[in-house]
Structure 1
Protein backbone atom coordinates (compact mmCIF):
# COMPACT_ATOMS: atom_id res chain seq x y z
CA UNK A 1 0.00 0.00 0.00
CA UNK A 2 1.34 3.44 -0.89
CA UNK A 3 1.30 5.87 2.04
CA UNK A 4 1.42 9.63 2.18
CA UNK A 5 4.33 11.66 3.51
CA UNK A 6 2.50 14.15 5.74
CA UNK A 7 2.79 17.05 3.32
CA UNK A 8 -0.93 17.83 3.67
CA UNK A 9 -0.53 19.07 7.24
CA UNK A 10 2.40 21.27 6.23
CA UNK A 11 0.30 22.83 3.46
CA UNK A 12 -2.58 23.46 5.87
CA UNK A 13 -0.18 25.21 8.25
CA UNK A 14 1.27 27.34 5.44
CA UNK A 15 -2.16 28.41 4.14
CA UNK A 16 -3.46 29.11 7.64
CA UNK A 17 -0.46 31.32 8.39
CA UNK A 18 -0.94 33.26 5.15
CA UNK A 19 -4.54 33.99 6.14
CA UNK A 20 -3.46 35.24 9.56
CA UNK A 21 -4.93 32.27 11.38
CA UNK A 22 -3.65 29.72 13.86
CA UNK A 23 -3.60 25.97 14.03
CA UNK A 24 -3.29 23.92 17.20
CA UNK A 25 -3.32 20.24 18.03
CA UNK A 26 -4.36 18.25 21.09
CA UNK A 27 -3.86 14.52 21.48
CA UNK A 28 -5.63 12.24 23.93
CA UNK A 29 -4.23 8.93 25.06
CA UNK A 30 -6.89 6.27 25.45
CA UNK A 31 -8.16 6.18 28.99
CA UNK A 32 -10.97 4.78 31.05
CA UNK A 33 -13.39 7.59 30.30
CA UNK A 34 -12.60 8.48 26.67
CA UNK A 35 -10.98 6.99 23.57
CA UNK A 36 -7.64 8.07 22.15
CA UNK A 37 -7.41 10.54 19.26
CA UNK A 38 -5.96 13.78 17.93
CA UNK A 39 -7.88 17.00 17.54
CA UNK A 40 -6.75 19.76 15.17
CA UNK A 41 -8.20 23.25 15.59
CA UNK A 42 -7.89 25.78 12.76
CA UNK A 43 -8.93 29.35 13.54
CA UNK A 44 -9.22 31.94 10.78
CA UNK A 45 -9.94 35.65 11.36
CA UNK A 46 -13.18 37.07 9.94
CA UNK A 47 -13.08 40.74 9.09
CA UNK A 48 -16.30 42.68 9.74
CA UNK A 49 -17.26 44.48 6.52
CA UNK A 50 -19.00 47.81 6.35
CA UNK A 51 -22.51 48.37 4.99
CA UNK A 52 -22.99 47.08 1.49
CA UNK A 53 -25.86 46.00 -0.71
CA UNK A 54 -26.71 42.34 -0.46
CA UNK A 55 -27.08 42.21 -4.24
CA UNK A 56 -23.45 43.21 -4.77
CA UNK A 57 -21.31 41.52 -2.10
CA UNK A 58 -17.55 41.96 -2.23
CA UNK A 59 -15.67 39.21 -4.05
CA UNK A 60 -12.22 38.24 -2.82
CA UNK A 61 -9.62 37.78 -5.55
CA UNK A 62 -8.53 34.19 -6.02
CA UNK A 63 -5.29 32.57 -7.03
CA UNK A 64 -7.01 31.22 -10.13
CA UNK A 65 -7.95 34.70 -11.35
CA UNK A 66 -4.43 35.99 -10.81
CA UNK A 67 -2.98 32.96 -12.59
CA UNK A 68 -5.30 33.26 -15.57
CA UNK A 69 -4.40 36.92 -15.98
CA UNK A 70 -0.68 36.20 -15.75
CA UNK A 71 -0.99 33.33 -18.22
CA UNK A 72 -2.83 35.57 -20.69
CA UNK A 73 -0.04 38.14 -20.39
CA UNK A 74 2.56 35.46 -21.11
CA UNK A 75 0.68 34.29 -24.20
CA UNK A 76 0.39 37.85 -25.52
CA UNK A 77 4.05 38.66 -24.81
CA UNK A 78 5.65 36.10 -27.14
CA UNK A 79 5.57 32.64 -28.74
CA UNK A 80 5.11 29.85 -26.20
CA UNK A 81 7.35 27.44 -28.11
CA UNK A 82 10.42 29.49 -27.16
CA UNK A 83 9.74 29.20 -23.42
CA UNK A 84 11.67 26.57 -21.42
CA UNK A 85 9.79 23.30 -20.94
CA UNK A 86 9.31 22.10 -17.36
CA UNK A 87 8.07 18.61 -16.50
CA UNK A 88 6.34 18.28 -13.10
CA UNK A 89 6.24 14.69 -11.79
CA UNK A 90 4.15 14.49 -8.62
CA UNK A 91 1.63 11.85 -7.53
CA UNK A 92 -0.27 14.19 -5.19
CA UNK A 93 -2.91 15.84 -7.40
CA UNK A 94 -3.26 19.02 -5.35
CA UNK A 95 0.49 19.56 -5.12
CA UNK A 96 0.98 18.83 -8.82
CA UNK A 97 -1.75 21.25 -9.86
CA UNK A 98 -0.41 23.89 -7.47
CA UNK A 99 3.11 23.74 -8.96
CA UNK A 100 1.74 23.74 -12.51
CA UNK A 101 -0.46 26.76 -11.78
CA UNK A 102 2.44 28.68 -10.21
CA UNK A 103 4.80 28.08 -13.15
CA UNK A 104 2.47 28.00 -16.16
CA UNK A 105 2.57 31.77 -16.68
CA UNK A 106 6.37 31.67 -17.11
CA UNK A 107 7.15 28.30 -18.67
CA UNK A 108 5.69 25.61 -20.88
CA UNK A 109 4.52 22.85 -18.54
CA UNK A 110 3.92 19.12 -18.82
CA UNK A 111 2.96 16.96 -15.85
CA UNK A 112 2.85 13.31 -14.85
CA UNK A 113 1.25 11.52 -11.91
CA UNK A 114 4.09 9.06 -11.20
CA UNK A 115 7.71 8.39 -12.00
CA UNK A 116 7.04 5.90 -14.78
CA UNK A 117 4.76 8.31 -16.67
CA UNK A 118 7.32 11.03 -16.04
CA UNK A 119 10.07 8.90 -17.58
CA UNK A 120 8.00 8.26 -20.71
CA UNK A 121 7.26 11.99 -21.07
CA UNK A 122 10.91 12.90 -20.44
CA UNK A 123 12.03 10.67 -23.34
CA UNK A 124 9.34 12.02 -25.64
CA UNK A 125 9.50 15.74 -24.86
CA UNK A 126 13.08 16.24 -23.56
CA UNK A 127 12.18 19.00 -21.06
CA UNK A 128 14.75 21.50 -19.85
CA UNK A 129 14.08 20.75 -16.18
CA UNK A 130 12.19 18.02 -14.33
CA UNK A 131 10.65 18.78 -10.93
CA UNK A 132 10.07 15.36 -9.37
CA UNK A 133 8.68 14.15 -6.07
CA UNK A 134 10.79 11.61 -4.20
CA UNK A 135 8.10 9.21 -2.95
CA UNK A 136 5.90 8.06 -5.84
CA UNK A 137 4.23 4.80 -6.90
CA UNK A 138 5.53 2.65 -9.79
CA UNK A 139 8.84 4.55 -9.99
CA UNK A 140 10.16 6.80 -7.22
CA UNK A 141 12.31 9.89 -7.66
CA UNK A 142 15.59 8.01 -7.26
CA UNK A 143 14.69 5.48 -9.96
CA UNK A 144 13.51 8.27 -12.26
CA UNK A 145 16.81 10.16 -11.91
CA UNK A 146 18.75 6.94 -12.50
CA UNK A 147 16.87 6.33 -15.75
CA UNK A 148 17.45 9.90 -16.89
CA UNK A 149 21.17 9.90 -16.13
CA UNK A 150 21.81 6.50 -17.74
CA UNK A 151 20.21 7.37 -21.08
CA UNK A 152 22.35 9.49 -23.45
CA UNK A 153 19.19 11.07 -24.87
CA UNK A 154 18.02 12.42 -21.49
CA UNK A 155 21.24 12.72 -19.46
CA UNK A 156 21.42 16.50 -20.02
CA UNK A 157 18.07 17.23 -18.30
CA UNK A 158 18.33 19.07 -14.98
CA UNK A 159 16.36 17.57 -12.07
CA UNK A 160 14.94 19.24 -8.97
CA UNK A 161 13.98 16.65 -6.37
CA UNK A 162 11.07 17.41 -4.03
CA UNK A 163 10.64 15.60 -0.74
CA UNK A 164 8.98 15.94 2.65
CA UNK A 165 11.93 14.16 4.25
CA UNK A 166 14.48 16.29 6.09
CA UNK A 167 16.94 13.45 6.68
CA UNK A 168 20.49 14.20 5.52
CA UNK A 169 20.85 10.68 4.08
CA UNK A 170 17.90 11.33 1.78
CA UNK A 171 19.51 14.54 0.52
CA UNK A 172 22.88 12.86 0.03
CA UNK A 173 21.30 9.95 -1.84
CA UNK A 174 19.44 12.35 -4.13
CA UNK A 175 22.67 14.07 -5.14
CA UNK A 176 24.42 10.71 -5.56
CA UNK A 177 21.78 9.66 -8.08
CA UNK A 178 22.31 12.90 -10.00
CA UNK A 179 19.79 15.46 -8.74
CA UNK A 180 20.82 19.05 -9.49
CA UNK A 181 18.71 20.61 -6.71
CA UNK A 182 16.97 19.28 -3.61
CA UNK A 183 13.91 21.09 -2.23
CA UNK A 184 12.23 20.16 1.04
CA UNK A 185 8.44 20.41 1.37
CA UNK A 186 6.78 22.67 2.26
CA UNK A 187 8.75 25.03 0.04
CA UNK A 188 8.65 28.68 -0.86
CA UNK A 189 7.47 29.14 -4.45
CA UNK A 190 9.79 32.11 -4.88
CA UNK A 191 12.78 29.98 -3.88
CA UNK A 192 11.71 27.27 -6.34
CA UNK A 193 11.49 29.87 -9.10
CA UNK A 194 15.00 31.10 -8.28
CA UNK A 195 16.44 27.59 -8.45
CA UNK A 196 14.69 27.02 -11.75
CA UNK A 197 16.06 30.28 -13.12
CA UNK A 198 19.60 29.42 -12.01
CA UNK A 199 19.47 26.00 -13.65
CA UNK A 200 18.09 27.45 -16.88
CA UNK A 201 20.71 30.23 -16.90
CA UNK A 202 23.43 27.61 -16.47
CA UNK A 203 22.05 25.64 -19.40
CA UNK A 204 21.88 28.77 -21.56
CA UNK A 205 25.52 29.64 -20.84
CA UNK A 206 26.56 26.14 -21.93
CA UNK A 207 24.53 26.46 -25.15
CA UNK A 208 26.20 29.80 -25.88
CA UNK A 209 29.60 28.25 -25.25
CA UNK A 210 28.93 25.40 -27.69
CA UNK A 211 27.74 27.81 -30.38
CA UNK A 212 30.78 30.03 -29.91
CA UNK A 213 32.98 27.04 -30.74
CA UNK A 214 31.63 27.34 -34.30
CA UNK A 215 31.51 31.11 -34.55
CA UNK A 216 35.00 31.96 -33.29
CA UNK A 217 37.72 30.76 -35.68
CA UNK A 218 40.47 31.26 -33.12
CA UNK A 219 39.12 28.66 -30.70
CA UNK A 220 39.95 24.97 -30.61
CA UNK A 221 37.98 22.53 -32.74
CA UNK A 222 34.51 21.76 -31.30
CA UNK A 223 35.30 18.02 -31.30
CA UNK A 224 38.36 18.66 -29.15
CA UNK A 225 36.54 20.66 -26.50
CA UNK A 226 32.89 19.51 -26.34
CA UNK A 227 31.92 17.95 -23.00
CA UNK A 228 28.53 16.46 -23.77
CA UNK A 229 28.84 12.84 -24.93
CA UNK A 230 25.89 13.05 -27.31
CA UNK A 231 27.31 16.12 -29.08
CA UNK A 232 30.75 14.52 -29.17
CA UNK A 233 29.33 11.46 -30.94
CA UNK A 234 27.37 13.70 -33.32
CA UNK A 235 30.52 15.66 -34.21
CA UNK A 236 32.45 12.42 -34.75
CA UNK A 237 29.82 11.20 -37.21
CA UNK A 238 29.93 14.49 -39.13
CA UNK A 239 33.73 14.29 -39.16
CA UNK A 240 33.60 10.77 -40.62
CA UNK A 241 31.62 12.00 -43.63
CA UNK A 242 32.86 15.57 -43.75
CA UNK A 243 33.52 15.51 -47.51
CA UNK A 244 30.18 13.82 -48.30
CA UNK A 245 27.67 16.41 -49.51
CA UNK A 246 24.83 13.89 -49.14
CA UNK A 247 25.23 13.66 -45.35
CA UNK A 248 21.79 14.22 -43.79
CA UNK A 249 19.88 13.92 -40.53
CA UNK A 250 18.30 10.60 -41.53
CA UNK A 251 21.71 8.94 -41.51
CA UNK A 252 22.75 10.72 -38.32
CA UNK A 253 19.56 9.69 -36.49
CA UNK A 254 20.07 6.07 -37.57
CA UNK A 255 23.68 6.05 -36.37
CA UNK A 256 22.68 7.60 -33.05
CA UNK A 257 19.76 5.14 -32.68
CA UNK A 258 17.18 7.88 -32.19
CA UNK A 259 14.24 9.21 -34.15
CA UNK A 260 14.58 12.38 -36.22
CA UNK A 261 12.27 14.14 -33.76
CA UNK A 262 14.45 13.12 -30.81
CA UNK A 263 17.60 14.18 -32.65
CA UNK A 264 16.07 17.57 -33.38
CA UNK A 265 14.89 18.08 -29.77
CA UNK A 266 18.18 16.93 -28.27
CA UNK A 267 20.35 19.13 -30.49
CA UNK A 268 18.00 22.09 -30.10
CA UNK A 269 18.11 21.70 -26.32
CA UNK A 270 21.88 21.38 -26.16
CA UNK A 271 22.93 24.07 -28.62
CA UNK A 272 19.79 25.84 -29.93
CA UNK A 273 20.53 24.85 -33.51
CA UNK A 274 18.80 22.42 -35.82
CA UNK A 275 20.78 19.31 -36.86
CA UNK A 276 21.15 20.72 -40.39
CA UNK A 277 22.56 23.95 -38.96
CA UNK A 278 25.03 21.96 -36.88
CA UNK A 279 26.19 20.08 -39.99
CA UNK A 280 26.69 23.32 -41.93
CA UNK A 281 28.42 25.18 -39.10
CA UNK A 282 30.65 22.23 -38.31
CA UNK A 283 31.73 22.13 -41.97
CA UNK A 284 32.49 25.85 -41.90
CA UNK A 285 34.45 25.57 -38.66
CA UNK A 286 36.45 22.67 -40.10
CA UNK A 287 37.10 24.77 -43.19
CA UNK A 288 38.93 27.25 -40.96
CA UNK A 289 41.36 24.52 -39.86
CA UNK A 290 41.93 23.41 -43.46
CA UNK A 291 42.56 26.97 -44.67
CA UNK A 292 45.03 27.44 -41.83
CA UNK A 293 46.76 24.21 -42.86
CA UNK A 294 47.46 25.64 -46.31
CA UNK A 295 44.58 24.42 -48.45
CA UNK A 296 43.17 26.96 -50.88
CA UNK A 297 39.50 27.89 -51.03
CA UNK A 298 38.64 25.51 -53.90
CA UNK A 299 40.28 22.50 -52.23
CA UNK A 300 38.60 23.30 -48.94
CA UNK A 301 35.20 23.50 -50.65
CA UNK A 302 35.18 19.80 -51.50
CA UNK A 303 37.01 18.64 -48.38
CA UNK A 304 34.17 19.97 -46.20
CA UNK A 305 31.34 18.64 -48.36
CA UNK A 306 30.27 21.66 -50.43
CA UNK A 307 29.60 21.04 -54.11
CA UNK A 308 30.28 24.57 -55.41
CA UNK A 309 33.17 26.93 -54.52
CA UNK A 310 30.94 29.94 -55.15
CA UNK A 311 28.24 28.65 -52.78
CA UNK A 312 30.88 27.73 -50.21
CA UNK A 313 32.30 31.26 -50.42
CA UNK A 314 28.84 32.78 -49.96
CA UNK A 315 27.96 30.65 -46.93
CA UNK A 316 31.42 31.22 -45.42
CA UNK A 317 31.08 34.99 -45.81
CA UNK A 318 27.57 35.02 -44.34
CA UNK A 319 28.85 33.23 -41.25
CA UNK A 320 32.35 34.69 -40.76
CA UNK A 321 31.79 38.06 -42.52
CA UNK A 322 34.68 37.51 -44.93
CA UNK A 323 35.36 35.23 -47.89
CA UNK A 324 37.69 32.21 -47.61
CA UNK A 325 40.20 34.04 -49.79
CA UNK A 326 40.08 37.10 -47.52
CA UNK A 327 40.57 34.85 -44.50
CA UNK A 328 43.68 33.30 -46.05
CA UNK A 329 45.02 36.74 -46.96
CA UNK A 330 44.40 38.20 -43.52
Structure 2
Protein backbone atom coordinates (compact mmCIF):
# COMPACT_ATOMS: atom_id res chain seq x y z
CA UNK A 1 0.00 0.00 0.00
CA UNK A 2 2.75 2.44 0.98
CA UNK A 3 4.58 1.74 -2.27
CA UNK A 4 1.51 2.72 -4.29
CA UNK A 5 1.18 5.97 -2.37
CA UNK A 6 4.83 6.81 -3.02
CA UNK A 7 4.39 6.18 -6.73
CA UNK A 8 1.30 8.40 -6.84
CA UNK A 9 3.14 11.21 -5.09
CA UNK A 10 6.08 10.94 -7.45
CA UNK A 11 3.85 11.07 -10.51
CA UNK A 12 2.07 14.11 -9.09
CA UNK A 13 5.37 15.86 -8.51
CA UNK A 14 6.52 15.10 -12.04
CA UNK A 15 3.23 16.47 -13.37
CA UNK A 16 3.77 19.70 -11.48
CA UNK A 17 7.32 20.05 -12.81
CA UNK A 18 6.22 19.97 -16.45
CA UNK A 19 5.47 23.41 -17.93
CA UNK A 20 1.83 24.10 -18.78
CA UNK A 21 1.11 25.02 -22.42
CA UNK A 22 -2.27 26.32 -23.61
CA UNK A 23 -3.24 25.51 -27.22
CA UNK A 24 -5.91 27.67 -28.88
CA UNK A 25 -7.49 26.68 -32.21
CA UNK A 26 -11.02 26.24 -33.51
CA UNK A 27 -9.98 23.03 -35.29
CA UNK A 28 -10.21 20.01 -33.01
CA UNK A 29 -8.04 18.06 -35.44
CA UNK A 30 -5.19 20.58 -35.15
CA UNK A 31 -5.57 20.74 -31.37
CA UNK A 32 -5.29 16.97 -31.14
CA UNK A 33 -2.33 16.90 -33.53
CA UNK A 34 -0.29 19.50 -31.58
CA UNK A 35 -1.36 18.22 -28.15
CA UNK A 36 -0.33 14.67 -29.03
CA UNK A 37 3.12 15.92 -30.02
CA UNK A 38 3.61 18.08 -26.89
CA UNK A 39 2.06 16.06 -24.11
CA UNK A 40 5.19 14.02 -23.35
CA UNK A 41 7.07 17.14 -22.19
CA UNK A 42 4.26 19.51 -21.23
CA UNK A 43 0.92 19.62 -19.47
CA UNK A 44 -1.35 20.60 -22.36
CA UNK A 45 -4.59 22.59 -22.01
CA UNK A 46 -6.82 23.39 -25.00
CA UNK A 47 -9.31 26.09 -25.96
CA UNK A 48 -11.42 26.53 -29.10
CA UNK A 49 -11.30 30.36 -29.22
CA UNK A 50 -9.79 33.42 -27.58
CA UNK A 51 -12.62 33.90 -25.08
CA UNK A 52 -12.29 30.35 -23.79
CA UNK A 53 -8.51 30.77 -23.63
CA UNK A 54 -8.80 33.86 -21.39
CA UNK A 55 -11.14 31.98 -19.07
CA UNK A 56 -8.55 29.21 -18.71
CA UNK A 57 -5.74 31.72 -18.11
CA UNK A 58 -7.77 33.35 -15.34
CA UNK A 59 -7.80 30.13 -13.31
CA UNK A 60 -4.66 28.20 -14.36
CA UNK A 61 -0.92 28.94 -14.14
CA UNK A 62 0.21 28.74 -17.77
CA UNK A 63 3.81 29.06 -19.01
CA UNK A 64 3.12 29.55 -22.72
CA UNK A 65 0.26 30.02 -25.22
CA UNK A 66 0.18 28.66 -28.77
CA UNK A 67 -2.67 30.20 -30.76
CA UNK A 68 -4.02 30.07 -34.28
CA UNK A 69 -4.70 33.44 -35.86
CA UNK A 70 -7.96 32.85 -37.71
CA UNK A 71 -10.73 31.87 -35.27
CA UNK A 72 -14.39 32.89 -34.97
CA UNK A 73 -15.18 35.45 -32.28
CA UNK A 74 -11.94 36.51 -30.64
CA UNK A 75 -9.13 35.73 -33.10
CA UNK A 76 -5.45 35.22 -32.38
CA UNK A 77 -4.59 38.88 -32.86
CA UNK A 78 -7.07 40.04 -30.25
CA UNK A 79 -6.13 37.23 -27.86
CA UNK A 80 -2.44 38.16 -28.14
CA UNK A 81 -3.24 41.82 -27.52
CA UNK A 82 -5.38 40.95 -24.49
CA UNK A 83 -2.62 38.76 -23.05
CA UNK A 84 0.20 41.25 -23.59
CA UNK A 85 -1.57 44.50 -22.67
CA UNK A 86 -2.81 43.64 -19.16
CA UNK A 87 -0.87 43.07 -15.96
CA UNK A 88 -2.46 39.70 -15.23
CA UNK A 89 -1.10 37.77 -18.26
CA UNK A 90 1.56 40.00 -19.87
CA UNK A 91 4.43 37.72 -18.79
CA UNK A 92 3.14 34.72 -20.78
CA UNK A 93 4.98 34.03 -24.09
CA UNK A 94 2.70 33.77 -27.13
CA UNK A 95 3.38 31.72 -30.27
CA UNK A 96 1.10 32.60 -33.19
CA UNK A 97 0.28 30.03 -35.87
CA UNK A 98 -1.02 31.22 -39.22
CA UNK A 99 -1.49 30.23 -42.83
CA UNK A 100 -0.92 33.88 -43.75
CA UNK A 101 2.64 34.37 -44.90
CA UNK A 102 2.43 38.09 -45.72
CA UNK A 103 4.93 40.46 -44.15
CA UNK A 104 2.12 42.71 -42.93
CA UNK A 105 0.52 39.82 -41.06
CA UNK A 106 3.79 39.07 -39.28
CA UNK A 107 4.38 42.72 -38.44
CA UNK A 108 0.92 43.04 -36.92
CA UNK A 109 1.40 39.96 -34.74
CA UNK A 110 4.80 41.12 -33.51
CA UNK A 111 3.49 44.63 -32.84
CA UNK A 112 0.82 43.13 -30.60
CA UNK A 113 3.55 41.42 -28.57
CA UNK A 114 3.78 37.93 -30.06
CA UNK A 115 7.07 36.26 -29.16
CA UNK A 116 7.24 33.86 -32.12
CA UNK A 117 5.41 33.66 -35.46
CA UNK A 118 5.10 30.18 -37.03
CA UNK A 119 3.71 29.69 -40.53
CA UNK A 120 1.50 26.76 -41.50
CA UNK A 121 2.25 24.13 -42.53
CA UNK A 122 4.95 23.63 -39.91
CA UNK A 123 6.88 20.64 -38.66
CA UNK A 124 6.11 19.49 -35.11
CA UNK A 125 9.86 19.50 -34.42
CA UNK A 126 10.12 23.17 -35.36
CA UNK A 127 7.26 24.14 -33.05
CA UNK A 128 8.78 22.04 -30.26
CA UNK A 129 12.09 23.87 -30.61
CA UNK A 130 10.41 27.29 -30.50
CA UNK A 131 8.43 26.42 -27.37
CA UNK A 132 11.42 24.85 -25.61
CA UNK A 133 13.63 27.83 -26.44
CA UNK A 134 11.16 30.37 -25.06
CA UNK A 135 10.61 28.46 -21.82
CA UNK A 136 14.33 27.71 -21.37
CA UNK A 137 15.31 31.35 -21.81
CA UNK A 138 12.66 32.50 -19.33
CA UNK A 139 13.85 29.90 -16.81
CA UNK A 140 17.45 31.08 -17.15
CA UNK A 141 16.39 34.64 -16.36
CA UNK A 142 14.39 33.50 -13.33
CA UNK A 143 17.32 31.46 -12.01
CA UNK A 144 19.77 34.33 -12.50
CA UNK A 145 17.49 36.68 -10.56
CA UNK A 146 17.04 34.20 -7.70
CA UNK A 147 20.77 33.40 -7.38
CA UNK A 148 22.18 36.93 -7.68
CA UNK A 149 22.05 39.13 -4.54
CA UNK A 150 21.91 42.52 -6.30
CA UNK A 151 19.85 41.77 -9.42
CA UNK A 152 16.60 43.77 -9.45
CA UNK A 153 13.27 41.99 -9.65
CA UNK A 154 12.50 43.88 -12.88
CA UNK A 155 15.02 41.62 -14.61
CA UNK A 156 12.39 38.87 -14.81
CA UNK A 157 9.89 41.16 -16.56
CA UNK A 158 9.22 40.43 -20.23
CA UNK A 159 7.10 43.45 -21.13
CA UNK A 160 6.69 47.05 -20.00
CA UNK A 161 3.53 45.99 -18.16
CA UNK A 162 5.58 43.33 -16.33
CA UNK A 163 8.26 45.83 -15.34
CA UNK A 164 5.68 48.27 -14.01
CA UNK A 165 3.99 45.52 -12.00
CA UNK A 166 7.27 44.17 -10.62
CA UNK A 167 8.48 47.65 -9.70
CA UNK A 168 5.28 48.32 -7.82
CA UNK A 169 5.45 44.89 -6.19
CA UNK A 170 9.00 45.47 -4.96
CA UNK A 171 8.15 48.96 -3.67
CA UNK A 172 5.20 47.51 -1.74
CA UNK A 173 7.36 44.75 -0.24
CA UNK A 174 10.08 47.23 0.73
CA UNK A 175 7.57 49.48 2.47
CA UNK A 176 6.60 46.50 4.63
CA UNK A 177 9.98 44.83 5.07
CA UNK A 178 10.11 45.47 8.83
CA UNK A 179 6.92 43.41 9.21
CA UNK A 180 7.97 39.76 9.81
CA UNK A 181 4.38 38.66 9.11
CA UNK A 182 4.10 40.22 5.64
CA UNK A 183 2.06 37.85 3.47
CA UNK A 184 0.22 37.61 0.16
CA UNK A 185 -3.03 38.95 1.65
CA UNK A 186 -1.30 42.17 2.68
CA UNK A 187 0.33 42.51 -0.73
CA UNK A 188 -2.94 41.82 -2.58
CA UNK A 189 -4.76 44.46 -0.55
CA UNK A 190 -2.10 47.10 -1.10
CA UNK A 191 -1.76 46.30 -4.82
CA UNK A 192 -5.55 46.29 -5.22
CA UNK A 193 -5.55 42.78 -6.70
CA UNK A 194 -7.40 39.65 -5.70
CA UNK A 195 -5.35 37.10 -3.79
CA UNK A 196 -5.72 34.33 -6.47
CA UNK A 197 -4.76 36.74 -9.28
CA UNK A 198 -1.68 37.96 -7.44
CA UNK A 199 -0.66 34.40 -6.56
CA UNK A 200 -0.97 33.22 -10.19
CA UNK A 201 0.95 36.23 -11.48
CA UNK A 202 3.84 35.84 -9.04
CA UNK A 203 4.01 32.07 -9.43
CA UNK A 204 3.99 32.20 -13.21
CA UNK A 205 6.43 35.07 -13.66
CA UNK A 206 8.98 33.92 -11.05
CA UNK A 207 8.32 30.20 -10.36
CA UNK A 208 7.98 31.20 -6.70
CA UNK A 209 5.13 31.47 -4.27
CA UNK A 210 4.45 34.99 -2.90
CA UNK A 211 6.01 33.86 0.40
CA UNK A 212 9.21 32.78 -1.39
CA UNK A 213 9.36 36.03 -3.38
CA UNK A 214 8.89 38.11 -0.23
CA UNK A 215 11.75 36.21 1.38
CA UNK A 216 14.03 36.81 -1.61
CA UNK A 217 13.11 40.50 -1.59
CA UNK A 218 14.12 40.64 2.08
CA UNK A 219 17.45 38.94 1.34
CA UNK A 220 18.21 41.11 -1.68
CA UNK A 221 17.48 44.26 0.30
CA UNK A 222 19.73 42.85 3.02
CA UNK A 223 22.49 42.36 0.44
CA UNK A 224 22.07 45.98 -0.69
CA UNK A 225 22.39 47.23 2.90
CA UNK A 226 25.44 45.04 3.51
CA UNK A 227 26.92 46.36 0.27
CA UNK A 228 26.63 49.92 1.61
CA UNK A 229 28.83 48.92 4.56
CA UNK A 230 27.15 51.15 7.15
CA UNK A 231 25.31 48.56 9.27
CA UNK A 232 26.14 45.44 11.25
CA UNK A 233 24.67 42.13 10.10
CA UNK A 234 22.24 41.96 13.02
CA UNK A 235 21.03 45.50 12.22
CA UNK A 236 20.45 44.54 8.59
CA UNK A 237 18.58 41.39 9.63
CA UNK A 238 16.23 43.43 11.80
CA UNK A 239 15.67 46.08 9.13
CA UNK A 240 14.58 43.51 6.53
CA UNK A 241 12.12 41.75 8.84
CA UNK A 242 14.03 38.85 10.38
CA UNK A 243 13.55 38.09 14.04
CA UNK A 244 17.17 36.99 14.45
CA UNK A 245 20.56 37.28 12.76
CA UNK A 246 20.79 33.49 12.75
CA UNK A 247 17.59 33.11 10.72
CA UNK A 248 18.73 35.82 8.30
CA UNK A 249 22.12 34.13 7.88
CA UNK A 250 20.62 30.69 7.34
CA UNK A 251 18.27 31.94 4.62
CA UNK A 252 21.04 34.02 3.01
CA UNK A 253 23.23 30.93 2.66
CA UNK A 254 20.37 28.86 1.30
CA UNK A 255 19.50 31.47 -1.35
CA UNK A 256 22.91 32.81 -2.43
CA UNK A 257 25.31 30.02 -1.46
CA UNK A 258 27.31 32.13 0.99
CA UNK A 259 26.89 33.57 4.46
CA UNK A 260 26.44 37.34 5.04
CA UNK A 261 29.97 37.35 6.51
CA UNK A 262 31.44 35.69 3.40
CA UNK A 263 29.44 38.08 1.22
CA UNK A 264 31.02 41.05 3.04
CA UNK A 265 34.48 39.52 2.56
CA UNK A 266 33.88 39.16 -1.17
CA UNK A 267 32.88 42.80 -1.35
> Does the alignment pair 1:134 with 2:69?
yes
Distance 1:92 1:322, change over 3 A: closer
Of 102, 118, 123, 2:53 maps to 118
C-alpha distance in 2, partners of 1:162/1:99?
A: 11
Q: Report if aligned partners of 2:146, 2:216 keep a CA contact under 8 Å in 1.
A: no
Partner of 2:188: 253
Q: Report if aligned partners of 1:223, 1:236 keep a CA contact under 8 Å in 2.
A: no
1:223 Cα deviation (Å)? 5.2
1:247 Cα deviation (Å)? 1.2
Larger Rg: 1
Partner of 1:92: 27
Q: Report if aligned partners of 1:226, 1:232 keep a CA contact under 8 Å in 2.
A: no
1:203 Cα deviation (Å)? 1.1
Q: Report if aligned partners of 1:84, 1:128 keep a CA contact under 8 Å in 2.
A: yes
SS at match of 2:58: helix
- When normalised by structure 1's length, the TM-score is 0.69
Distance 1:309 1:209, change over 3 A: closer
Of 301, 304, 308, 2:244 maps to 308
Of 108, 112, 132, 1:197 maps to 132
1:224 Cα deviation (Å)? 7.4
Select between 201-210 and 320-329 the one with higher mean Cα deviation.
320-329
Partner of 2:18: 83
> Does the alignment pair 1:149 with 2:84?
yes
1:115 Cα deviation (Å)? 1.0
Runs of 5+ unmatched residues, structure 1: 1-74
C-alpha distance in 2, partners of 1:274/1:265?
A: 9
Distance 1:224 1:128, change over 3 A: closer
If asked which structure has higher relative contact order (CA below 8 Å, sep 6+), I would say 2
C-alpha distance in 2, partners of 1:326/1:94?
A: 58
> Does the alignment pair 1:209 with 2:144?
yes
Of 170, 174, 177, 1:242 maps to 177
State the Cα RMSD in Å.
2.4
C-alpha distance in 2, partners of 1:95/1:198?
A: 22
Distance 1:212 1:323, change over 3 A: closer
Deviations 1:277-325 (A, max 9, x none): 1111221221222233321123222211112334334333444555545
Tell me how many residue pairs correspond in the alignment.
251
Q: Report if aligned partners of 1:87, 1:111 keep a CA contact under 8 Å in 2.
A: yes
Q: Report if aligned partners of 1:126, 1:154 keep a CA contact under 8 Å in 2.
A: no
- When normalised by structure 2's length, the TM-score is 0.84
Distance 1:183 1:238, change over 3 A: same
Partner of 2:230: 294
> Does the alignment pair 1:170 with 2:105?
yes
Q: Report if aligned partners of 2:64, 2:94 keep a CA contact under 8 Å in 1.
A: yes
> Does the alignment pair 1:233 with 2:149?
no
Distance 1:104 1:300, change over 3 A: same
